[in-house]
Structure formats: structure tokens, C-alpha cells
């Protein structure tokens, strides 16, 4: 399928060469050149090109393109008839060249073959023994070479433009996918960071409301704990913004899990026990962050949905990979209750090359297991 109009400089260059040769032949008295008709025909051709570009800036529709091509062929013939130099026959190479952009390769090749056959037939009619004339055979061969070159040039131009269009589309698609991936990442971070702290704040305020009349001291402590959780949420937001703006310190899973567990006690949440084994060096940072987010989500769900009183977090890192197990003694897990948090967790773990398993734990409660094969740290 045609994709655009012809290369704009080819026709004017050829018109200029034909004009110079024809005027030289006229001034030198070579042949029978009629300068007014000759120059007027070339000017008309240039005018057609200019009007077409203005009328159809991007692409000429097929019907107008066919009409314009017919007009050009007629003017080519008229110019050749009044040109004593004989060079005007080179104008006919523009026929397949223009047709390639307007109608495609098949029609362009057919017109090129028809042009060569027409020139051969005209030579045979004028001189039955034209094939014995070296000059006529040379002219025919040169004309055929010109046809091949112009069709090849048109093919290269079309493919180059198509490649540029495909590259632009691919670039736009990559940008769109990158933006989507970044939006999903930010959404996961918002859910994991703010969602975790907001859950604690909501539960603490509910506790303060429930104990307001029964135990004012417990209510006051719950409000203070809620304030503390809100401050930690603000610190997490600032840390996330800082991370987006600059390269932060290397991530430490053990330190992050230790802080996470300590924060549960400060927020008045369930008892959380941490077990950590192995060395983090050599493990992919994305895998370590995915484990931390999984632990964060597991504790939040144990606190919000399971109403657990005891949560255990066990992280094991070895040569084969990394594993995180979060268990609680709550009400158990229902698959239909999976929300955005678990979805985001699965996405993070899958991006790190791992898997998530979640279900009931022995003795009741819920067991969350995250396994990520080891990949070398970048």
C-alpha cells in the first residue's frame, strides 16, 4: 500500500536537467527545439507538482493521483516532441516513480515495463533495424537502467518512511507501556505504604472510640499511637518521593523487616515475631523489596481482616533463592477476599521471577508463602 507522496526533490532536479539540455541544444543549433513550448511544458509540470503538494499535503487520493499521472504523461510526451536534444525522454522514468507512491509496487513495475516496451516499439516502427544501431540500443539500455534505478529509489524511500512510521508507533507504545508500568508501581507503593499505616490508624481510632467511656487512658494511648502511625506514614511518603528524585541507599531487607515489626508494637497491633536467616549479598534488590512488600501486606491483612493476635514472619535467604512465610492465628483466608493488595503483591513477585501461595495454616489462621529464585544482583 502507498504511504506518502514522492520524494519532493527528484522531479525538480530532472526538470532542471532537461531544461538545461534542451536550451543548450537550441542555442547550439542541435536538433529542432521549440523553446517556448519546451519551457512552457516543463513549467506546467512544475506547476502540477506544486498544486498537488498544496492540495494534498500528506497523500493524494487514488483517483486524483491517476488523473494527475495521466496529465504528466501527456506533458512528458509534449515536451519530448519539442525538444531537439532528445533528453526529455528521461522524464518518462518519473512515471513508475510517481506511481510507486500513489499505487504501490506492482503498478509501478508494470508501468516501467510498459514504458520500456513502448520505447522499443516506437524505435522499431521508426527503424525496423533499430537493434543494429548502437546508439539506439544504448539509449534503450540507459532508459531501462533509469527505470530500474527510479523504481529502486521509490522502494527504498517507501520502506524508509514505513520504518520510521513503525518506529514512531513502537516508541509511542513503549512510552505508553512504561507509563502504565510506572502507574501500577506507584499504585502498589501507595497501597503498601499508606494502606498499611492507614489501616493501623483506623483500628487505633476505633479502639479509642470504643474505650472512650470505659477506659480514657487506653483511649488516649490509642489516639497517641494513631498520631505516631500518621507521622510514620508521612515519613514513608517523603522517603518515597526522595527515592524517586535521587538514588537512595542500598536496600536492607533485614533492617526493613525489623523496623516493620517494631512498628506493629508501637501501633498497638498484634504480636509479630520475626525470624531472619541468610545473607542478603548477591540477591537481586527487586526480589528483596518484593519480600518486604509481601511481609507488609501479610501483616496488614492479618491485622485488618483476620483479627489475629499473633503473627510470625520468617525470611530465609540462601544460594537457591529467597523465601518469606507469614503466618497468623486469625480467622483464616477466603480466596474471594483477594483485593488490590494481594494483586499488587503477586505483580511484584512475578516481576521478580517468583510466586505467591496463600491459604490456611495448620492449626488455623492463614499462611502466606513467597518464593523467589536467586538472581545475581545488578
CA separation for the pair 42, 212 (Å, rounded): 97
Tell me the pTM: 0.48
Q: Which of 272, 277, 242 is nearest to 260 (CA)?
A: 272
Of the residues 142, 172, 202, the one at which a domain ends: 172
| Contact yes or no for 82/34 (Cβ under 8 A) | yes
Predicted local distance difference test score (pLDDT) of residue 2: 47
CA separation for the pair 296, 230 (Å, rounded): 16
The residue assigned the cell 509481601 is 294
Predicted local distance difference test score (pLDDT) of residue 117: 87
**For the chain, how many structural domains are there in total?**
2
Predicted local distance difference test score (pLDDT) of residue 182: 63
Predicted local distance difference test score (pLDDT) of residue 256: 85
Residue 35 belongs to what domain range?
Answer: 10-172
- From the centroid of its chain, how far is CA 68? 38
Strands (E), the chain: 271-277, 310-317, 321-328, 355-360, 366-373
The stretches of 212-278 forming alpha helices (DSSP H) are 216-245, 253-266
Residue 85 half-sphere exposure toward CB, CA atoms < 13 A: 20
Strands 355-360 and 310-317 come out as unpaired
Buried (b) or exposed (e) across 259-297, using 16+ Cβ within 10 A?
Answer: ebbebbeebbbbebebeeeeebeebbebbbebbbbbbbb
CA separation for the pair 193, 186 (Å, rounded): 10
Residue 185 lies in a domain: no
For 178, 311, 312, 355, the CA distances from 363, given in Å and listed in that order, are 44, 13, 14, 24
Strand partners, 274: 313
The residue assigned the cell 540500443 is 137
Q: Which of 344, 251, 246, 342 is nearest to 301 (CA)?
A: 342
For residues 303 and 163, membership in a common domain is answered with no
For 89, 151, 269, 361, 368, the CA distances from 263, given in Å and listed in that order, are 88, 74, 9, 24, 20
| Contact yes or no for 223/204 (Cβ under 8 A) | yes
Per-residue pLDDT of the chain (378 residues; tens, 9 = 90+): 445 567 788 889 999 998 998 888 888 888 788 999 999 999 999 999 999 888 888 788 889 889 999 999 999 999 988 988 888 888 899 999 888 888 888 998 998 888 888 878 877 787 777 777 787 788 778 888 888 888 888 888 888 888 887 887 787 787 777 667 666 666 666 666 666 667 777 777 877 788 777 787 877 777 877 777 777 777 666 655 554 454 456 778 898 888 888 877 665 668 889 999 999 888 888 888 889 888 888 888 887 777 788 899 999 999 889 999 999 988 876 665 666 677 878 888 888 889 999 887 777 788 899 999 987 544
For residues 164 and 23, membership in a common domain is answered with yes
For residues 168 and 257, membership in a common domain is answered with no
For residues 43 and 167, membership in a common domain is answered with yes
Helix, strand, coil percent values for the chain (each to nearest 5): 70, 10, 20
For residues 274 and 132, membership in a common domain is answered with no
For residues 164 and 305, membership in a common domain is answered with no
For residues 266 and 364, membership in a common domain is answered with yes
| Contact yes or no for 1/104 (Cβ under 8 A) | yes
For 248, 255, 287, the CA distances from 321, given in Å and listed in that order, are 24, 19, 9
Of the residues 129, 148, 172, the one at which a domain ends: 172
Residue 317 lies in a domain: yes
Strand order, beta sheet including 310-317? 271-277, 310-317, 321-328, 366-373, 355-360
For 27, 79, 94, 119, the CA distances from 84, given in Å and listed in that order, are 11, 10, 20, 17
Predicted local distance difference test score (pLDDT) of residue 246: 45
Of the residues 121, 147, 172, the one at which a domain ends: 172
CA separation for the pair 10, 157 (Å, rounded): 12
For residues 28 and 144, membership in a common domain is answered with yes
CA separation for the pair 4, 7 (Å, rounded): 9
Predicted local distance difference test score (pLDDT) of residue 189: 64
Predicted local distance difference test score (pLDDT) of residue 329: 87
The residue assigned the cell 486469625 is 330
User: What's the CATH code of the domain at 321?
Assistant: 3.30.565.10
For residues 168 and 19, membership in a common domain is answered with yes
For residues 166 and 18, membership in a common domain is answered with yes
| Contact yes or no for 127/136 (Cβ under 8 A) | yes
Residue 137 lies in a domain: yes
For residues 16 and 165, membership in a common domain is answered with yes
Amino acid at each position: 500500500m502507498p504511504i506518502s507522496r514522492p520524494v519532493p526533490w527528484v522531479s525538480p532536479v530532472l526538470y532542471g536537467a532537461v531544461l538545461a539540455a534542451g536550451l543548450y541544444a537550441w542555442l547550439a543549433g542541435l536538433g529542432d527545439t521549440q523553446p517556448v513550448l519546451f519551457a512552457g511544458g516543463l513549467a506546467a509540470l512544475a506547476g502540477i507538482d506544486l498544486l498537488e503538494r498544496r492540495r494534498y499535503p500528506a497523500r493524494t487520493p487514488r483517483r486524483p493521483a491517476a488523473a494527475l499521472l495521466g496529465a504528466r504523461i501527456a506533458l512528458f510526451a509534449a515536451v519530448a516532441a519539442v525538444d531537439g536534444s532528445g533528453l526529455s525522454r528521461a522524464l518518462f522514468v518519473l512515471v513508475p516513480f510517481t506511481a510507486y507512491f500513489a499505487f504501490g509496487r506492482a503498478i509501478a513495475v508494470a508501468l516501467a515495463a510498459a514504458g520500456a516496451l513502448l520505447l522499443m516499439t516506437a524505435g522499431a516502427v521508426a527503424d525496423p533495424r533499430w537493434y543494429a544501431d548502437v546508439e539506439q540500443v544504448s539509449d534503450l539500455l540507459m532508459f531501462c537502467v533509469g527505470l530500474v534505478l527510479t523504481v529502486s529509489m521509490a522502494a527504498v524511500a517507501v520502506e524508509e518512511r514505513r520504518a520510521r512510521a513503525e518506529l514512531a508507533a513502537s516508541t509511542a507504545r513503549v512510552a505508553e507501556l512504561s507509563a502504565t508500568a510506572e502507574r501500577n508501581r506507584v499504585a502498589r507503593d501507595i497501597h503498601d505504604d499508606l494502606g498499611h499505616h492507614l489501616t493501623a490508624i483506623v483500628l487505633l481510632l476505633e479502639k479509642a472510640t470504643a474505650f472512650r467511656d470505659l477506659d480514657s487512658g487506653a483511649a488516649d494511648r490509642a489516639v497517641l499511637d494513631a498520631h505516631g502511625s500518621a507521622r510514620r506514614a508521612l515519613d514513608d511518603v517523603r522517603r518515597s518521593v526522595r527515592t524517586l528524585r535521587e538514588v537512595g541507599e542500598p536496600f536492607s531487607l533485614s533492617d526493613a523487616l525489623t523496623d516493620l515489626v517494631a512498628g506493629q508494637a508501637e501501633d498497638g497491633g498484634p504480636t509479630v515475631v520475626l525470624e531472619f536467616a541468610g545473607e542478603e549479598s548477591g540477591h537481586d534488590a527487586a526480589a528483596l523489596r518484593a519480600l518486604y512488600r509481601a511481609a507488609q501486606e501479610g501483616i496488614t491483612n492479618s491485622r485488618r481482616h483476620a483479627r489475629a493476635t499473633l503473627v510470625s514472619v520468617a525470611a530465609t535467604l540462601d544460594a537457591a533463592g529467597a523465601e518469606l512465610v507469614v503466618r497468623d492465628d486469625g480467622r483464616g483466608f477466603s480466596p474471594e477476599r483477594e483485593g488490590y493488595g494481594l494483586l499488587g503483591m503477586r505483580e511484584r513477585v512475578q516481576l521478580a521471577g517468583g510466586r505467591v501461595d496463600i491459604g490456611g495454616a495448620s492449626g488455623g489462621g492463614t499462611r502466606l508463602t513467597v518464593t523467589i529464585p536467586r538472581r545475581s544482583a545488578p
